[in-house]
Amino acid sequence: MRRIIVMVALLCAFVAGAAETPSIPAETKEQPFDKAQGEKDARMKWFREARFGLFIHWGVYSVPAGEWKDKKDYGEWFLEQTKMPVSEYKKFAKEFNPVKFDAKEWVRIAKDAGMKYIVITSKHHDGFGMFRSDMTDWCIKSTPFQRDPLKELADACKDAGIKFCFYHSIMDWHHPDWGQLRKWNDLAKGEPNMDRYTEYMKGQLKELLTRYGPIGIVWFDGEWEKPWTHERGVDLYNYCRSLQPDTIVNNRVGKGRAGMSGMDKDKGVGDYGTPEQEIPPTGFGAGVDWESCMTMNGHWGYNKYDQKWKSTETLVRNLIDCASKGGNYLLNVGPTSEGLIPSPSIERLAEMGKWMKVNGESIYGTQASPFVKTPWGRCTRKAINSRKTKIYLHVYNWPADGKLVIPGLKNKVKRASLLADGKALKVKAEDSSISITVPSEMPDKIATVIVLDVKGEPRVVVNNP
Ligand code: JFZ
């Protein structure tokens, strides 16, 4: 199985690298990227270990804060959904003055939550740049704010040891050259031209990839409209990596994504899959990287009426769920036009951080569960060396009889303990399972982690295929 996955991954890399792209400038062609799996493994190392990141959707749509006329459900899609003339939408830039923005504080909030990277919208579909771009005035330069939030965040991330990443929309409702011009874009004149548009986008990406230090991930989006093609995706992928060879690019740079499930169905480009608002039912095997992005309430961009917040328990368990399937969890906040992360988000992130401080070892640098089913919760594992593995059991349903049963584990369990206090627990090996004696009260109601030290690689017998 593993061999097949590696072969598929290599084949994808080959297809991506070898595609013929006649309309593409010579210097971005034939970059010898991804020739070796080892090169990709080295580049993906931090991402695979990180498991947890902060997504930030921030733009001038935070000024209307989700409300327009008689509707209160808008977010970052405000411009498209209201069909407001672009000339009118521009007023929001004039009102965007997030004087309470404190990059260090945002980074502290992320870091204390246990997050290892931050992905912020450099440009969303409305085309507005949250950085000082020389390519257009439709950016932070046209606001009273004048500062460069991305620069401040990049610097704060560097100081804190957090990877700085940006989300950049391919689709652009504002630019007159984006191939699918909106009728309500009253400022656009003439015929759209995708070659010109691509040059513009590359210009901005060059700014972002040369002025803000090392970029962890370029997180593309808005690739689904017709004018964007596989060939343009391959070219853009190569372009980003020609500027920063170590950067990671998500699969929304190309056209292969299969809807919200986020994984590539065919002709994929990019380094990893991006399920959106869902966690896949199972992982995809070693060598297939992915990251589920999710909101904390029902919106990406700030909506002042949306108070339907997920519980900390749900958020922590989502993170565990992703890790147990070999993926990352990218959790979103939508800051206000004052520059503040909403306090319900801050509270939940702080609570997640408390759990992570105690249990982070069972998340960072772990691999997917060796079990098909774990009726009491989830599981991750970590190879310590060739002779030693740690298996982390994330228990949600505490056993009423004080016996936690791990079905089908064949390894010798050298030690079982609670991760929180390191105290040893009694282990009993039975015929086709292991049972562990646990305290009668569930120590951590969100998820209690039990560590098993086992000999060698996990060996699991599936009794109920
Ligand atoms: C996209 C964005 O449109 C959205 O605003 C947000 O940034 C999210 C992270 O990514 O979400 C999508 C993308 C595609 C579809 C729906 C939502 N789609 O194809 O139906």
Asked whether residue 332 falls in the same domain as residue 421, the answer is no
- Which residues are CB-neighbours of 224 under 8 A, at least 6 positions away? 171, 255, 257
Asked whether residue 154 falls in the same domain as residue 287, the answer is yes
Q: Is residue 16 part of a domain?
A: no
27 falls in which pLDDT band (50, 70, 90)?
very low
* CA 191–ligand 1 middle distance (angstroms): 26
**How many CB atoms within 10 Å of residue 124?**
29
Domain boundary among 334, 362, 390: 362
Whether residue 258 has its Cβ less than 6 Å from ligand 1: no
Whether residue 221 has its Cβ less than 6 Å from ligand 1: yes
pLDDT value of position 29:
39
| 285 Rama class: left (phi>0) / alpha (psi -120 to 50) / beta | left
Instruction: Out of 156-160, 217-221, 235-239, 262-266, pick the least confident.
Output: 262-266
- Using DSSP's 3-state secondary structure scheme, residue 35 falls into coil
Asked whether residue 78 falls in the same domain as residue 164, the answer is yes
Enumerate the β-bridge partners of residue 362. Answer: none
Count of residues in the chain: 465
Whether residue 173 has its Cβ less than 6 Å from ligand 1: no
pLDDT value of position 8:
36
Q: Is residue 178 part of a domain?
A: yes
- pLDDT tens figures, 384-405: 999 999 999 999 999 999 999 9
Q: Is residue 136 part of a domain?
A: yes
DSSP code string of 395-455 = ESS--TTSEEEEETB-S-EEEEEETTT--EE-EEE-SSEEEEE--SS-S-SS-EEEEEEEE
Asked whether residue 154 falls in the same domain as residue 234, the answer is yes
* CA 436–ligand 1 middle distance (angstroms): 44
Q: Is residue 24 part of a domain?
A: no
pLDDT value of position 430:
85
Asked whether residue 167 falls in the same domain as residue 227, the answer is yes
Asked whether residue 225 falls in the same domain as residue 257, the answer is yes
Residue 463 confidence (pLDDT) above 90: no
Q: Is residue 22 part of a domain?
A: no
What residue numbers bound the domain in which 383 lies?
Answer: 377-455
* CA 223–ligand 1 middle distance (angstroms): 10
Average pLDDT over residues 298-303: 98
Q: Is residue 4 part of a domain?
A: no
96 falls in which pLDDT band (50, 70, 90)?
very high
pLDDT value of position 36:
62
Can you give the CATH number for the domain in which 349 is found?
A: 3.20.20.80
pLDDT value of position 9:
37
- pLDDT tens figures, 125-143: 999 999 999 999 999 999 9
Residue 28 confidence (pLDDT) above 50: no
230, 254 in Cβ contact below 8 A?
yes
pLDDT value of position 12:
35
160 vs 264 pLDDT, higher one: 160
239, 199 in Cβ contact below 8 A?
no
Average pLDDT over residues 454-462: 91
- Across the chain, mean pLDDT equals 92
21 falls in which pLDDT band (50, 70, 90)?
very low
Residue 5 confidence (pLDDT) above 70: no
Asked whether residue 438 falls in the same domain as residue 318, the answer is no
> Of the candidates 160, 178, 48, 172, which has an alpha carbon nearest to the alpha carbon of residue 122?
172
361, 416 in Cβ contact below 8 A?
no
- pLDDT tens figures, 52-69: 999 999 999 999 999 999
2, 287 in Cβ contact below 8 A?
yes
- What are the structure tokens assigned to 312, written together? 């900390």
- Which residues are CB-neighbours of 411 under 8 A, at least 6 positions away? 389, 454, 455, 456, 458, 459
Provide the number of structural domains found in the chain: 2
Domain boundary among 362, 387, 422: 362
pLDDT value of position 17:
29
Asked whether residue 441 falls in the same domain as residue 351, the answer is no
> Of the candidates 72, 215, 235, which has an alpha carbon nearest to the alpha carbon of residue 153?
215
Asked whether residue 195 falls in the same domain as residue 302, the answer is yes
Asked whether residue 253 falls in the same domain as residue 196, the answer is yes
Asked whether residue 384 falls in the same domain as residue 235, the answer is no
* CA 420–ligand 1 middle distance (angstroms): 38
Ligand 1 atom closest to Cα of 332? 9
1 vs 84 pLDDT, higher one: 84
Query: Sign (positive/negative) of CA torsion 112, 335, 170, 280?
Result: positive
Average pLDDT over residues 358-384: 96
Whether residue 330 has its Cβ less than 6 Å from ligand 1: no
Average pLDDT over residues 11-37: 38
Binning the chain into helix, strand and coil, the percentages to the nearest 5 are 30, 20, 50
Whether residue 178 has its Cβ less than 6 Å from ligand 1: no
353 vs 5 pLDDT, higher one: 353
414, 455 in Cβ contact below 8 A?
yes
DSSP-derived pairing of the beta strands 248-249 and 163-169: unpaired
- pLDDT tens figures, 231-282: 999 999 999 999 999 999 999 999 988 888 888 887 789 999 999 999 999 9
DSSP code string of 263-309 = SBSSS--SSBB--BS---SS---TT--BEEEE-SSS-SS--TT---P
Asked whether residue 302 falls in the same domain as residue 415, the answer is no
Distance from the Cα of residue 179 to its chain's centroid: 28
* CA 438–ligand 1 middle distance (angstroms): 43
Q: Cα-flanking dihedrals φ and ψ of residue 38, to 5°?
A: -60, -40
* CA 126–ligand 1 middle distance (angstroms): 13
Q: Is residue 18 part of a domain?
A: no
pLDDT value of position 35:
54
Residue 6 confidence (pLDDT) above 80: no
Residue 3 confidence (pLDDT) above 50: no
- What are the structure tokens assigned to 38, written together? 């080892």
Average pLDDT over residues 339-348: 98
For residues 351-363, one letter each, b for 16 or more C-beta atoms within 10 angstroms of the residue's C-beta and e for the rest, the string is bbbbbbeebbbbb
Can you give the CATH number for the domain in which 402 is found?
A: 2.60.40.1180
* CA 409–ligand 1 middle distance (angstroms): 41
Whether residue 300 has its Cβ less than 6 Å from ligand 1: yes
Percent of the chain with pLDDT over 70: 92
Domain boundary among 362, 387, 409: 362
22 falls in which pLDDT band (50, 70, 90)?
very low
210 vs 26 pLDDT, higher one: 210
Whether residue 61 has its Cβ less than 6 Å from ligand 1: no
- Using DSSP's 3-state secondary structure scheme, residue 52 falls into strand
Percent of the chain with pLDDT over 90: 85
Beginning with the edge strand found earlier in the chain, give each strand of the sheet holding 377-385 in spatial order: 377-385, 388-395, 448-455, 413-418, 424-425
What is the spatial distance between Cα 250 and Cα 10, in angstroms, rounded to a whole number? 16
Q: Is residue 9 part of a domain?
A: no
pLDDT value of position 300:
98
DSSP-derived pairing of the beta strands 413-418 and 403-407: unpaired
Q: Which residue's CA is minimally distant from atom 16 of ligand 1?
A: 260
Residue 169 confidence (pLDDT) above 80: yes
pLDDT value of position 313:
98
